[in-house]
Chain A
Amino acid sequence: MSAIRTIVDWLDDRAGVRELVNEALYESVPGGSRWRYVWGSALVMAFVTQALTGIFLWMAYSPSTQTAWESVYYIEHEMAGGWLLRGIHHYMAQMMIVLLAIHFIQVVWDGAYRAPRELNFVIGLVLMLVVLGLSFTGYLLPWDQKGYWATNVGTELASQAPIAGVALKKLAVGGSDYGHHTLTRFFALHAGVLPALLVGFLVLHIMLFRRHGLHAKDRNRAPDTTFWPDQVLKDSVASLGILAAVLALTVWKGAELMAPADAANPYDAARPEWYFLFLFQFLKWFPGELEIWGAFIIPGIVVAVLFVMPWIGRSKAGHLLNVALMGVLFGGAAFLTAQALYDDNFAAWNEKTEDNAARYEASQGFLDAKQEAEHEARRVIELARSPAKIPPTGALTLVYNDPYLQGPKLYKQNCAGCHNYADPENSDLRWAYLVNKNPSAPNLFGVGTRKWISGLLDPKQIVSAHYFGYAGSPFVGDGDQTDMVDFIQESLSEDLDNEQRQAIQTAFKKIAAALSAEARLPSQAEADARDAEMITEGRALLTGGLADLLESGTSCTDCHTFGEMQDIGSPVLDDYMSRRWLLDFLSNASDERFYGELNDRMPAFAPHDDLRLNQLDHKSLELIVDWLRSDWYRPSQDTDASETANP
């Protein structure tokens, strides 16, 4: 005990520690400690939390376009406790906005801005602006689609500011376009400039607060007390409650990380963080060039009014006016926020009618984009977690090279106009947007699988819209290429007795297995290996064996090439629906290996040696083909592989 006393004495002698501690802890609290005084301290606690978590995030964050998302992904999904660290930072930031609002409302309501506290009120407002700046800059740092596109709107608006707008945007963004320097600048602001300003103004704020003393609501409510320990206890309990709420949000929702920012792939559901949503909505009220009113003039006037509130509030009437202004401000912001949320979710909460069609569609677009973005984010994270990890060029490379993500997009642009893509048995919501209800070509869902080929060899299914029965098909009815359909229907005609029918159906089943094995689908590799015998039998049937079973005395190779070349405009069956076969087919379906001159509709996407003339490049074709063949990375495959590697 005496050793501690000696040290404290020594420190006190040199630095006046006892006085400092006394000053800090024994501030008088007139009228006793109260719960209503906790908000300022809670804000300090929130800021300390942000500083602490921010510094540790900083130790793992790397601001560049190839590493920002990647390092945040690594924090969130790979580092021990990273999700918690980021979650606390994410939700405490939002909590700070709420606390600021409460603190502000209380100060105005109580008239705590009156002399001599005007200057401290002004400093408080500066602190509020700094915190809003921290929120705005922090939103971009993960460099995900949401932050990127929302911030883009923000800086685009800044460029419309009178006189220096364009220069201002260029300086903020570090050039004309978003890039490395946008991140380095935003990060320097977020982790350096703004926190330094915040600390500086916070010190002034607290100094002045101590100088003026606490603005007591009711001095005679209870005997005076000191800050330590009564008020500190209340402040700590409140702070603990806030932390608990932040932790609960983190565990419940987690901090979101969308797909990596992509300048070429707009995110249609880009919205600012909820506390800026009212500004976003406000802009919708100002058509054309009036926008400057919504973006600058009115918000500018509002902020200016806030700064002069202490002077307006000198008289009782002025104070009431301030309270009314604050009510209008918060009420307006709440209304606009609700309106923005309602607009975005309109389609989820309402039925579509003729009158609300435009509104409904806009909302549906938002909801679809949001869902798709979430789907994409899950996929990129899955890819980033693969043993191959993220390449040095960044996670966007993963996005661009993934058939699962790019295939459907390319398919929609190039194929969905004619082909349907839908599981005939179950509707898969993932691909709902690829359904074509009036197809003019076969359904490509599961193309090349045993099931798909079995359908093609089924007399009923082959004439359905899923295969050759679509409107205007040349393969059915009065068409000029009905050989295939006729062959299948005659082979299994109604006249057959049960035994014959069964024998032929079994033969078709084997042929389907053999043909499907030609595709070498990764999803069917196991079945192909298991049914090697059936596949061998199937190959024998389709190369002639079938002829013995059928009245027509023909088999597949009477028209199709399979090993032996036939020359009558029927697709080659060697490697049927394999990667190579499909790539060649998509490149030029009019090639003699496929439909030759009989091709009446399938575009040739890449028939030219001169690549400039092709509609699609090789990579796009590969992505479409791999997606159609369900040949994409799956996390489970990989666990299987590692299990076999390490028995």
Chain B
Amino acid sequence: MANPPASQSDRPNATKNRRSFFAALAAITTGAVVVLTPLAVGVVTFLSPLLRKRQSSTVRVALLAQVPDDGLPRYFPVVADREDAWNRYPQQRVGGVYLVRQADEAAPTAFTAKCPHAGCFIGYAAGADHFQCPCHTSAFKLDGSRVRGDDEVSPRDMDQLPVELRELQLASGETATEVWVEFIDFQTGHKQPIHTT
């Protein structure tokens, strides 16, 4: 309080003005560097999830013998290694698929259980003639198409996953067939299936 601030009339002259302009500029720049450096470093770390790519894994979901060719969906959990930041969980349930095999078809069709609308888990009650999503009640026929077509809240039919049959050679000399599925995660809400990776 001993030194009150300079009054308007004590304003510095033009030279001083130029000098103080540079001083102000320098002060602002220095201050900005001091504040923005830690902020920028924080932001970079914060953005790091954008740099991480996820790859869809191809996983064994069932034996072919477990999928009778009666055209009815059967649910199988998808078990794969899962990483979460500093943890690695070996052989975790990471999602689910419905396998449907029509009469005389060699390979089943695989549908991911994730709803194309908002990502809920589509349900299937044994014996029912359609799949039903519990969230916004989208319904799908057993071939994955939407029951009410474009009137359904889901923007597209259920997402299909590539299926591969692999022969398993046993020690006994016998063979068994396994169903492998590429477990792709799709973006929700679009007319076209787009991978999230």
> Contact residues of A with B, CB < 8 Å?
65, 149, 152-153, 156-157, 159-160, 166-167, 170-171, 173-177, 179-181, 263-266, 268-270, 280, 283-284, 286-289, 291-292, 295, 358, 361-362, 365-366, 369, 413, 417, 610, 612-613, 615
Q: Are B84 and A65 in contact, CB atoms less than 8 angstroms apart?
A: yes
Known: A166-B196, A266-B121. A610 touches B171 (CB 8 A): yes
Ranked nearest first, the 8 interchain pairs of A and B with the lowest CB-CB distance are A266-B121, A264-B93, A160-B189, A179-B84, A268-B134, A156-B119, A288-B155, A176-B54
Quick check: is B37 within 8 A (CB to CB) of the other chain? no
The number of A-B residue pairs with CB atoms under 8 Å apart is: 135
Interface residues of B in 136-156 (CB under 8 A from A): 136-137, 139, 150-156
Docked Cα-Cα span, A153 to B189, in Å, equals 11
Q: Please indicate the chain B residues that have their CB under 8 angstroms from the CB of A365 in the complex.
A: 123, 132, 134
Q: Please indicate the chain A residues that have their CB under 8 angstroms from the CB of B197 in the complex.
A: 176
CB-CB nearest in chain B for A416: B126
Quick check: is B34 within 8 A (CB to CB) of the other chain? no
Docked Cα-Cα span, A287 to B172, in Å, equals 54
Q: Please indicate the chain B residues that have their CB under 8 angstroms from the CB of A366 in the complex.
A: 134
Interface residues of B in 168-197 (CB under 8 A from A): 168, 170-171, 176, 178, 185, 187-191, 196-197
Q: Jot down 22 A-B pairs with beta carbons below 8 A, ordered by A.
A: A149-B120, A153-B120, A156-B189, A159-B189, A160-B187, A160-B188, A160-B189, A160-B190, A173-B49, A176-B185, A176-B196, A263-B94, A268-B120, A268-B121, A268-B134, A287-B152, A289-B190, A289-B191, A291-B117, A291-B155, A291-B189, A358-B137
Quick check: is B16 within 8 A (CB to CB) of the other chain? no
Known: A175-B52, A179-B85. A287 touches B135 (CB 8 A): no
Q: Please indicate the chain A residues that have their CB under 8 angstroms from the CB of B170 in the complex.
A: 610, 613
Docked Cα-Cα span, A101 to B50, in Å, equals 37
Q: Are A180 and B84 in contact, CB atoms less than 8 angstroms apart?
A: yes
Quick check: is B77 within 8 A (CB to CB) of the other chain? yes
Docked Cα-Cα span, A526 to B86, in Å, equals 48
Q: Are B188 and A287 in contact, CB atoms less than 8 angstroms apart?
A: no
Q: Are A152 and B119 in contact, CB atoms less than 8 angstroms apart?
A: yes
A17 to chain B, nearest CB (A): 17
Known A264-B94, A270-B135, A615-B66; further 19 A-B contacts with Cβ < 8 A = A153-B118, A166-B196, A171-B47, A174-B49, A175-B85, A176-B52, A176-B54, A179-B85, A180-B84, A264-B93, A284-B136, A284-B153, A287-B153, A288-B152, A362-B132, A365-B123, A413-B75, A612-B176, A612-B178
A298 to chain B, nearest CB (A): 15
A414 to chain B, nearest CB (A): 11
Quick check: is B96 within 8 A (CB to CB) of the other chain? yes
Q: Are B84 and A153 in contact, CB atoms less than 8 angstroms apart?
A: no
Q: Are A288 and B120 in contact, CB atoms less than 8 angstroms apart?
A: no
Q: Are A177 and B84 in contact, CB atoms less than 8 angstroms apart?
A: yes
Docked Cα-Cα span, A149 to B121, in Å, equals 10
Q: Are B49 and A291 in contact, CB atoms less than 8 angstroms apart?
A: no
B168 to chain A, nearest CB (A): 6
Q: Are B118 and A157 in contact, CB atoms less than 8 angstroms apart?
A: yes
Q: Please indicate the chain B residues that have their CB under 8 angstroms from the CB of A174 in the complex.
A: 49, 85
Task: Determine chain A's interface SS by DSSP, over half rule.
Answer: helix
Known: A291-B155, A362-B134, A369-B134. A159 touches B85 (CB 8 A): no
Q: Are B120 and A266 in contact, CB atoms less than 8 angstroms apart?
A: yes
Interface residues of B in 93-127 (CB under 8 A from A): 93-96, 113, 117-121, 123, 126
Q: Please indicate the chain A residues that have their CB under 8 angstroms from the CB of B121 in the complex.
A: 266, 268
Docked Cα-Cα span, A514 to B185, in Å, equals 56
| Interchain CB contact (< 8 A) of B139 among A173, A265, A358 | A358
Quick check: is B87 within 8 A (CB to CB) of the other chain? yes
B173 to chain A, nearest CB (A): 12
Interface residue count for B (Cβ, 8 Å)?
A: 55
Quick check: is B17 within 8 A (CB to CB) of the other chain? no
CB-CB nearest in chain A for B123: A268
B107 to chain A, nearest CB (A): 19
Q: Are A291 and B153 in contact, CB atoms less than 8 angstroms apart?
A: yes
Q: Are A288 and B134 in contact, CB atoms less than 8 angstroms apart?
A: no
Q: Please indicate the chain B residues that have their CB under 8 angstroms from the CB of A362 in the complex.
A: 132, 134, 137
CB-CB nearest in chain A for B60: A612
Interface residues of B in 61-99 (CB under 8 A from A): 63, 66, 75, 77, 82, 84-87, 92-96
Docked Cα-Cα span, A289 to B190, in Å, equals 6
CB-CB nearest in chain A for B85: A180
Tell me which of A65, A266, A280, A613 has the highest count of chain B C-beta atoms within 10 A of its own C-beta.
A266
CB-CB nearest in chain B for A157: B118
Known: A153-B120, A287-B152, A613-B168. A292 touches B95 (CB 8 A): no
Q: Please indicate the chain B residues that have their CB under 8 angstroms from the CB of A159 in the complex.
A: 187-189
Docked Cα-Cα span, A181 to B190, in Å, equals 26
A343 to chain B, nearest CB (A): 8
CB-CB nearest in chain B for A262: B93
| Interchain CB contact (< 8 A) of A264 among B77, B137, B190 | B77
B4 to chain A, nearest CB (A): 17
Tell me which of A170, A173, A615 has the highest count of chain B C-beta atoms within 10 A of its own C-beta.
A170
Docked Cα-Cα span, A176 to B54, in Å, equals 7
Known: A65-B84, A287-B150, A365-B132. A156 touches B191 (CB 8 A): no
Docked Cα-Cα span, A577 to B77, in Å, equals 30
A33 to chain B, nearest CB (A): 38
B88 to chain A, nearest CB (A): 12
Q: Are A269 and B187 in contact, CB atoms less than 8 angstroms apart?
A: no
Docked Cα-Cα span, A491 to B66, in Å, equals 43
Docked Cα-Cα span, A642 to B63, in Å, equals 47
Q: Are B120 and A270 in contact, CB atoms less than 8 angstroms apart?
A: yes
Q: Please indicate the chain A residues that have their CB under 8 angstroms from the CB of B85 in the complex.
A: 174-175, 179-181
CB-CB nearest in chain B for A170: B49
Docked Cα-Cα span, A157 to B63, in Å, equals 35
Q: Please indicate the chain B residues that have their CB under 8 angstroms from the CB of A358 in the complex.
A: 137, 139
Q: Please indicate the chain B residues that have their CB under 8 angstroms from the CB of A173 in the complex.
A: 49
Q: Are A264 and B153 in contact, CB atoms less than 8 angstroms apart?
A: no
Docked Cα-Cα span, A613 to B150, in Å, equals 42
Q: Please indicate the chain A residues that have their CB under 8 angstroms from the CB of B185 in the complex.
A: 176
Docked Cα-Cα span, A613 to B151, in Å, equals 43
| Interchain CB contact (< 8 A) of A288 among B113, B126, B153 | B153
Q: Are B49 and A181 in contact, CB atoms less than 8 angstroms apart?
A: yes
A3 to chain B, nearest CB (A): 26
Q: Please indicate the chain B residues that have their CB under 8 angstroms from the CB of A270 in the complex.
A: 120, 134-135
Docked Cα-Cα span, A493 to B136, in Å, equals 60
Docked Cα-Cα span, A567 to B141, in Å, equals 51
Known: A266-B120, A283-B136. A288 touches B84 (CB 8 A): no
Q: Please indicate the chain B residues that have their CB under 8 angstroms from the CB of A170 in the complex.
A: 49-50
